[in-house]
Amino acid sequence: MAAVSEYWDSLARGFCVTLWVGLHAILGAALGSLILGPLRLSKTRAIRVTSMVFIELIRGPSALILLFWVFYVLPLIPGMPQLSPLAAAILVLAVDGAAYGAEIVRAGIESVHRDQSDACHALGLSNLQTLRKVVLPQALSQIVPAFGSMARDMFKWTSIVSFVGVPDVLYVANNVRSQTFEAAIVFCLVAAIYWILCLLCAGVFRAIEQVLPLNQALRASRTSAQVVSNAKAVAGAAQ
């Protein structure tokens, strides 16, 4: 343990890189999901099929293979840029997360009763207005918990970025292990770091769930029902 303690600063920097990559990948995946999910439900067949094919193409290979393609193969195509390891890692994780998150968003939107969309159209609201003002606020109560679970997985997915030279916590840990030969201690520390990241991510998404409009309305409804029930019980006891 004493040998590993000399590398605390390096492990802390690796932790910061992992946190940076994970946060940006999750934000990118959330944005991509909110775009791809509604496109999967488009009334235009070409848009619906194109988005479905794109999602399945991304979900097919592993994220590591996609990372190798973007970082090593993409620059070989004329006119394509050579991305830095960090940019390639964030891009691949965000797109891969968006492909999985799109199905979460689609399922959340479909959980909202169709009659509400019909009522909005009858009032003259466009499809975009209906989605933004009526459907999505209700669907978020279904989307956020599922996306929060995926976000925790995305922090674990960041471990692949070390394969293209991003100095994340796993990359640093491997260097520490090779210099100290303390494999058990090093990888126990790495496991603890990922566990802490997942706990923090879970806490953030639970906090987000608490402030969602539909969840707040449901809590208020339960509270009112409980108050009425208690009032009836007191009145019955008084009689």
Q: In the chain, what are the domain boundaries? A: 2-214
| pTM: predicted TM-score of the whole model, two decimal places | 0.85
Report the pLDDT value the prediction gives residue 41, as an integer from 0 to 100.
86
Question: Which has more pLDDT, 51 or 234?
Answer: 51
Among the four given CATH numbers 1.10.3720.10, 1.10.10.10, 3.40.50.1010, 3.40.50.300, the one describing domain 2-214: 1.10.3720.10
Predicted confidence (pLDDT) at residue 191 exceeds the cutoff of 70? yes
Report the pLDDT value the prediction gives residue 185, as an integer from 0 to 100.
84
What is the tens place of the pLDDT at every residue in 140-185? 888 888 999 999 999 999 999 999 988 888 888 888 888 877 778 8
* Contact between 197 and 18 (Cβ < 8 Å): yes
Report the pLDDT value the prediction gives residue 78, as an integer from 0 to 100.
87
What is the tens place of the pLDDT at every residue in 29-51? 999 999 998 898 888 889 999 99
Report the pLDDT value the prediction gives residue 35, as an integer from 0 to 100.
92
Report the pLDDT value the prediction gives residue 132, as an integer from 0 to 100.
77
What is the tens place of the pLDDT at every residue in 105-147? 998 888 888 777 778 778 787 777 887 777 887 888 888 889 9
Report the pLDDT value the prediction gives residue 42, as an integer from 0 to 100.
85
Binned at pLDDT 50, 70 and 90, residue 236 comes out as: low
Report the pLDDT value the prediction gives residue 79, as an integer from 0 to 100.
84
Binned at pLDDT 50, 70 and 90, residue 25 comes out as: very high
What is the tens place of the pLDDT at every residue in 58-115? 998 889 999 999 999 988 888 888 889 999 999 999 999 999 999 999 988 888 887 7
Burial class (CB in 10 A: 0-12, 13-18, 19+), 41: middle
Give the up-direction half-sphere exposure of residue 83: CA atoms within 13 A in the CB hemisphere.
21
